[in-house]
């Protein structure tokens, strides 16, 4: 019996955290946020060198061939440092989808380029879960028509899209009849865009369908939950550190029970969530019957805990928490993004109920 992170996972986290602390500081994140959001090559290259970009690519295609849980714990580090890279899309969801649903030649085409970091893939899955409005895309005669909103990574080389029939397709960014419109949003570490298709060519993954789609969404939800976990832990750490140094009434504010209890409440919410997420991550590859229910609960619950921590940690910082000077809002917004992206907590809880036959 061992319910905890493996030595490999702990050492990957240590390596990624050390690299991000040194090379992807908040100043670098600010620089990205103020840019046109094209790929942060320096951070990306560092992650390629660490091997984590190919974490889910099978070994025969040049990747590490690790599990979805391994990928998720790396995601936790990126949330912890609010790192602006297309990790979820390119390194987690796309390789899993292509490995499951692609032909051999499609795997040959995409997977090595993901593993060596030479191509990035964004996600166009929002119409496949908790869809808003009437957007969405359909395929006729092998060509796409329609619109996909809240698509990640406007500068990606490709996008992975789920159409109205739960089929997955890869679209190149230089495809004909494709219009890309940036959708400016609050979290500037995770750029979004809208894609408009009119008879746009695409590369359809023939073995896709609702089963594959559901699995890759479960993987995406769990990884997003880990991202929030990392961000929430960072906000708590920053709040405790600030409170230990900030003096008012001739004492550090960390000695006031009002402040201590806010920090204790954050820890008391984060720790059990971490335990839930560990199981949800484990279930993705090791307990498939449990994977969907726990992925729904992990993302929904972590969204609630993240929202509570984001607010509380900001408040512990007092007025400084509200400013841009400290940059705490990058974590606040990251958590806010993860809450809504690919389905908010109310919708996910309904999916959890459906998974147990408690709702239709």
Per CB under 8 A, residues contacting another protein are 1-6, 69, 240, 243-244, 251-252, 254-257, 259-261, 263-265, 267-268, 271-276, 278-279, 282, 286-287, 294, 297, 300-301, 304, 346, 349-350, 352-353, 358-359
**Minimum distance from CB of 64 to another protein (Å)?**
17
Q: Are 350 and 359 in contact (CB under 8 A)?
A: yes
264 vs 198: CA distance, rounded Å? 54
Closest separation in Å from C-beta 183 to another protein:
29
Between CA 150 and CA 170 the distance in angstroms is 16
Cβ proximity of 144 and 199 under 8 Å: yes
Residue 160 pairs in a beta bridge with 123, 170
Angle formed by the axes of helices 257-286 and 68-80, nearest 10°: 150
Q: Which of 70/127 has CB closer to another protein?
A: 70
Structure token pair of residue 130: 């908790």
Please return the burial class of 319, using the count of CB atoms within 10 Å of its CB with bins 0-12, 13-18 and 19+: exposed
Q: How far is the CB of 260 from another protein (least distance, A)?
A: 4
Q: Which residue has tokens 């984060």?
A: 270
Question: Exposure of 85 by Cβ count < 10 A (0-12 exposed, 13-18 middle, 19+ buried)?
Answer: buried
Q: Residue 174 or residue 289: which is nearer to another protein going by CB?
A: 289
Find, among 43, 129, 56, the residue nearest to 86 by Cα.
Answer: 43
C-alpha 351/C-alpha 333 separation (Å) is: 25
Q: Is 140 helix (H, G, I), strand (E, B) or coil?
A: strand
By beta-carbon proximity to another protein, the closer residue of 90 and 233 is: 233
Q: How far is the CB of 166 from another protein (least distance, A)?
A: 24
Least Å from the CB of residue 330 to another protein: 22
Write down the least CB distance from residue 350 to another protein, Å: 7
Bridge-based pairing of strands 178-183 and 192-201 is: antiparallel
Query: Shortest approach of another protein to residue 100 CB, angstroms?
Result: 22
Q: CB nearer to another protein: give 43 or 280.
A: 280
Residue number with CB closer to another protein (97 or 296): 296
Q: Which residues pair with 158 in a beta bridge?
A: 121, 172
Q: For the chain, how far is it from start to end, CA to CA, in angstroms? A: 37
Token output for 7 = 């030595």
Rank residues 39 and 305 by Cβ distance to another protein and give the closer one. 305
What's the min distance (Å) between Cβ of 338 and another protein?
A: 16
**What does each C-alpha distance from 352 to 81, 154, 300, 349, 355 come to in angstroms?**
30, 31, 9, 5, 5
**From the CB of 24, what's the least distance to another protein, in Å?**
26
258 — alpha (psi -120 to 50), left (phi > 0) or beta?
A: alpha
Q: In terms of CB distance, is 84 or 281 closer to another protein? A: 281
For another protein, the closer CB: 198 or 275 = 275
In the block, tokens 């309904």 appear at 350
User: What is the smallest separation between the CB atom of 255 and another protein, expressed in angstroms?
Assistant: 4
């Amino acid at each position: 019996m061992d319910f905890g992170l493996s030595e490999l996972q702990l050492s990957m986290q240590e390596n990624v955290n050390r690299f991000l602390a040194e090379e992807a500081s908040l100043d670098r994140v600010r620089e990205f946020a103020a840019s046109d959001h094209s790929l942060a090559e320096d951070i990306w290259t560092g992650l390629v060198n660490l091997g984590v970009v190919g974490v889910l690519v099978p070994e025969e295609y040049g990747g590490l061939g690790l599990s979805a849980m391994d990928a998720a714990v790396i995601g936790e580090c990126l949330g912890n440092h609010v790192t602006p890279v297309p990790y979820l899309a390119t390194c987690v969801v796309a390789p899993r989808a292509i490995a499951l649903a692609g032909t051999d030649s499609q795997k040959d085409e995409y997977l090595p380029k993901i593993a060596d970091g030479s191509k990035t893939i964004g996600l166009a899955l929002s119409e496949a879960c908790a869809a808003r409005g009437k957007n969405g895309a359909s395929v006729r005669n092998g060509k796409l028509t329609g619109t996909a909103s809240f698509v990640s990574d406007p500068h990606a080389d490709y996008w992975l899209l789920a159409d109205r029939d739960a089929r997955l397709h890869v679209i190149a960014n230089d495809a004909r009849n494709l219009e890309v419109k940036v959708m400016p949003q609050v979290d500037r570490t995770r750029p979004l865009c809208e894609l408009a298709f009119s008879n746009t060519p695409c590369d359809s993954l023939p073995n896709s369908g609702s089963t594959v789609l559901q699995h890759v969404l479960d993987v995406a939800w769990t990884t997003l939950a880990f991202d929030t976990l990392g961000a929430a832990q960072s906000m708590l750490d920053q709040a405790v550190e600030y409170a230990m140094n900030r003096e008012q009434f001739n004492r550090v504010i960390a000695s006031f029970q009002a402040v201590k209890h806010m920090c204790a409440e954050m820890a008391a919410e984060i720790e059990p969530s971490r335990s839930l997420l560990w199981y949800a991550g484990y279930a993705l590859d090791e307990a498939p019957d449990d994977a969907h229910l726990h992925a729904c609960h992990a993302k929904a619950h972590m969204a609630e805990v993240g929202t509570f921590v984001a607010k509380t940690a900001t408040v512990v910082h007092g007025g400084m928490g509200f400013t841009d000077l400290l940059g705490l809002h990058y974590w606040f917004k990251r958590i806010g993004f993860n809450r809504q992206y690919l389905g908010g907590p109310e919708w996910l809880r309904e999916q959890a109920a459906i998974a147990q036959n408690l709702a239709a």
